[in-house]
Amino acid sequence: MTKALLMSIGGGVLSALLYLSVVTGGMGALILAYLAPLPLLMVGLGSGLRPFAAAATAAVVVVGIFGGILFGMTYAVANGLLVAVIVRQTLLARANPDGSLEWYPPGLLLVVMTGLGLGGLLVAAFLTLGDPGGLEGSVRQFLVMGFGDAAAGTGGDAESGVTQVIDSFSQIFPGMVVVSWLTMAIINAALAQGVLMRFGRNLRPPMRVTEVELPHWMPMLLAAAGLLALVGGDGQLGYLALNVVIVLLVPFFFAGLAVVHAFAGGRQARTLLLVVFYFFLLVSGWPIALVIGLGVIEQWAGLRRRFARTGPDQES
């Protein structure tokens, strides 16, 4: 067994252990579980698809042995499939006439990942068609089991308040789960690429935030989903369309970040501007809507190109 294969299997085992940590409970365990894709991404982005396949196989086997077959299948879909797509698309390149390589665009990678998230949402809706209330009813039942017991017996305003929170949160819960899944995958991919670059093991050049450019049909898709959400009203179609809209906002958020980075890149106080921006982004929710709005406007106005600097010192 070669050293490279052993390292790939080791990466898979580490990913499995991170994923299995969720069974111990606690916020710390949840954070570790969110980092489960990181070792797989490091193997894939640093060594290629075949070593990744070995790592993913080892991870699924370990999770299946210690967590059960269902847990292993969940890991394979939630981490293995997503990372496989990220690695494959990220390492795609074609040769230009001058001999240089044109790598798969980060904007299209975001669209493909979003498509996976939407696929998962549609599968969930299909699997719950026979349940009372469909997907919405199943989500509400899940939230009641998770949060309703905490308010049981308290009575009065406390129990009523929890019920109202469940009713409101259930409307967007599926979409937010997918958004969280996609966001953590993107963060893990950025971390993996950063570590690999630090040690000179990356197979492709870094993907800059300012390079994010979405297809021109994305706003039409978002508008169509929004229209379906309005037409569908309180029915299952409206519920599903609303959550589709939430997922579709993810690529527009990163397109908006591209505009912000391009704007800051043309200023002398670039680092300070970005630090202040991300500080407010983390501590307050309203900048998220602003960034998404910039991402939508970018599709027509081309703000990123107007702000972006030219030259070898351009940063993201």
Contact 36, 19 (CB under 8 A): yes
Q: What is the DSSP letter of 212?
A: -
Residues 66 and 197 occupy one common structural domain: yes
Residue 308: the pLDDT is 65
pLDDT at 159 over 80: no
Do 177 and 84 share a domain, yes or no?
yes
Give the span between the Cα atoms of 272 and 264, in whole angstroms.
Answer: 9
Residue 266 confidence (pLDDT): 73
Looking at the structure, tell me whether residues 191 and 47 fall in a common domain. Answer: yes
The residue with greater pLDDT, 233 or 69, is 69
The total number of structural domains that make up the chain: 2
Does 213 lie in the same domain as 199?
Answer: no
User: Per residue in 86-136, pLDDT tens?
Assistant: 999 999 999 888 888 899 999 999 999 999 999 999 999 999 888 888 899
In a domain, 101, yes or no: yes
Are 53 and 194 in a shared domain?
A: yes
Residues 182 and 229 in one domain: no
From 189, 207, 225, give the residue that closes a domain.
207
Separation between Cα atoms, residue 265 and residue 316, nearest integer Å? 7
Q: Three-state DSSP class for 294?
A: helix
Mean pLDDT of 256-282: 88
Co-location of 101 and 245 in the same domain: no
Among 181, 207, 233, residue at a domain's last position = 207
Give a yes or no: residue 184 inside a domain. Answer: yes
In 10 A of CB 231, how many CB atoms? 11
Alpha helices in 106-217 (DSSP H): 106-127, 134-143, 149-151, 156-169, 173-198
Distance CA 32, CA 186 (A): 16
User: Does residue 114 share a domain with residue 252?
Assistant: no
**Could you tell me which of 213, 290, 207, 224 has the C-alpha nearest to residue 251?**
213
Residues ≥6 apart with Cβ < 8 Å to 250: 110, 114, 117, 179, 182, 183
**192 found inside a domain:** yes
Together in a domain, 245 and 192 = no
Contacts of 160 (CB under 8 A, 6+ apart): none
63 located within any domain: yes
| Domain coverage including residue 291 | 209-307
pTM above 0.85, yes or no: yes
Q: Same structural domain for residues 29 and 49?
A: yes
For 57-98, the pLDDT digits (tens) are: 999 999 999 999 999 999 999 999 999 999 999 999 998 888
The answer on 265 and 182 residing in a single domain is: no
Return the H-helix or E-strand segment holding 72. helix 69-75
Computed over every residue of the chain, the mean pLDDT equals: 88
Whether residue 223 sits in one domain with residue 76: no
